[in-house]
Amino acid sequence: MMSKYPLLGMTLIELQSLVKRLGMPGFAAKQIASWLYDKKVTSIDEMTNLSLKYRELLKQNYEVGAEAPVEEMRSVDGTVKYLYPVGENHFVESVYIPDDERATLCISSQVGCKMNCKFCMTGKQGYSANLTAHQIINQIHSLPERDKLTNVVMMGMGEPLDNLEEVLKALDILTGSYGYAWSPKRITVSTVGLRKGLRRFIEESDCHLAISLHSPVTAQRAELMPAEKAFSITEMVELLKNYDFSKQRRLSFEYIVFKGLNDSQVYAKELLKLLRGLDCRINLIRFHSIPGVALEGADMDTMTRFRDYLTTHGLFTTIRASRGEDIFAACGMLSTAKQEENNKS
């Protein structure tokens, strides 16, 4: 029996093309979009302003395609990690992070990752597949706390710019008036920086941009992040200077502080030199150790000194609060465990 195609993850243009193909009236596309993204239904039968005839027609080859998470891990601090099935024996993680007035969901864009950053558990999995817009949007649609969400960050498994077509489709659904109608200011996309993808993302989306930096020294960054060899951080900064980040849109740089590696004032000075002239901020991140990697996180005193040095020299810097440490906080650990468990059985 052929599996049905999911409606979830279709843009308005795709829905318009679908209803035309099925001989349904043009306005049905907006009705379907409203059921999917505003009323968040889980079945075609719930789309009650479509005639029974059209619902039956849709059901022949299509379904909503909502898939609930198969596993969850809850932290003592309220953070919840969810595991979503995406195809045959593949899983991705999403992390729900409640924090006072805000509730952020960290979502994935690929199964595994090609970037192979030294400090990343997902990179150790290697790359398996790109997620479709359906699989990206489902992480939000099928989230138990969906209605509490204020922000989405694409900082989970995978490199978003390596799956740009599907990521842009998902962002269109999240920000389009026919979709979730969110302000782009509620969404941040994180990337190691891929030359072609970066330019396109900046020009075709208004969402915030976060660059994984982790070292201002080219040779050291290349050791931590092989992607540096293809598109260096200095070239990236030159490209970013062509765009205006002084208004609504935020540019930030993620910087994991490793003990004895990139945590001294020498590196803070190099950061100031590298980012001079860019309207941006730095997020300092504590490192969660992962199996088989000999890197350690810097202590809080070192991070505080690092932050204060940058801030007093005019670079707005924050230390990101560490969350979910008791539930395999590093992305990729839960899905790796699940995949291995399924391979054994």
139 and 49 share one domain:
no
Q: Which residue in 67, 93, 228, 254 is the catalytic one? A: 93
Number of domains in the chain: 2
What does the pLDDT read at residue 343? 53
Give backbone dihedrals phi and psi of 50, rounded to 5 degrees, phi first: -95, 140
Residue with tokens 């919840």, as numbered in its chain? 80
113 is annotated as contributing to ligand binding? yes
pLDDT at 1: 40
Q: Are 210 and 330 part of one and the same domain?
A: yes
123 vs 330: CA distance, rounded Å: 11
CA 343 to chain centroid? 27
Please count the helices (runs of H) and the strands (runs of E) in the chain: 12, 14
Q: Among residues 11, 40, 61, which one ends one of the domains?
A: 61
Residue 56's CATH number? 1.10.150.530
Q: What is the pLDDT of residue 260?
A: 96
**Domain stop point among 38, 61, 84:** 61
168 is in an annotated binding site: no
- Per-residue confidence (pLDDT) for residue 192, from 0 to 100: 97
One domain for residues 42 and 175: no
User: Is there a single domain that holds both residue 51 and residue 77?
Assistant: no
Examine the domain organization and report whether 102 and 50 are in the same domain. Answer: no
Is residue 280 annotated as a catalytic residue, yes or no? no
214 annotated as belonging to a binding site for a ligand: yes
Instruction: Among 34, 61, 88, give the residue marking a domain's end.
Output: 61
Q: pLDDT tens, 164-210?
A: 999 999 999 999 999 999 999 999 999 999 999 999 999 999 999 99
Contact 270, 282 (CB under 8 A): no
Known binder of ligand: residue 36? no
**What integer pLDDT is reported at residue 344 of this predicted model?**
54
Q: Is the domain of 115 the same as that of 228? A: yes
Decide if 93 is catalytic. yes
Instruction: Tell me which residues of the chain have a pLDDT lower than 70.
Output: 1-2, 328-345
Catalytic residue among 106, 207, 280, 331: 331
Whether residues 34 and 152 fall in one domain: no
Q: Are residue 25 and residue 159 in the same domain, yes or no? A: no
**Which residues are CB-contacts of 230 (< 8 A; sequence separation ≥ 6)?**
194, 195
Q: Which domain holds residue 276?
A: 69-342
Same domain, 24 and 122: no
What is the structure's pLDDT at 187? 98
Clarify whether residues 50 and 124 are in a common domain.
no
Q: Which helix (H) or strand (E) holds 98?
A: strand 91-99
Same domain, yes or no: 310 and 161: yes
Nearest to 87 by CA among 55, 62, 118, 65: 65
Query: Does residue 84 share a domain with residue 214?
Result: yes
- The mean pLDDT value of the chain amounts to 93
Closest to 131 measured CA to CA, from 113, 111, 116 = 111
Q: Is 120 annotated as a binding residue?
A: yes
Strand partners, 265: none
CATH of the domain at 227: 3.20.20.70
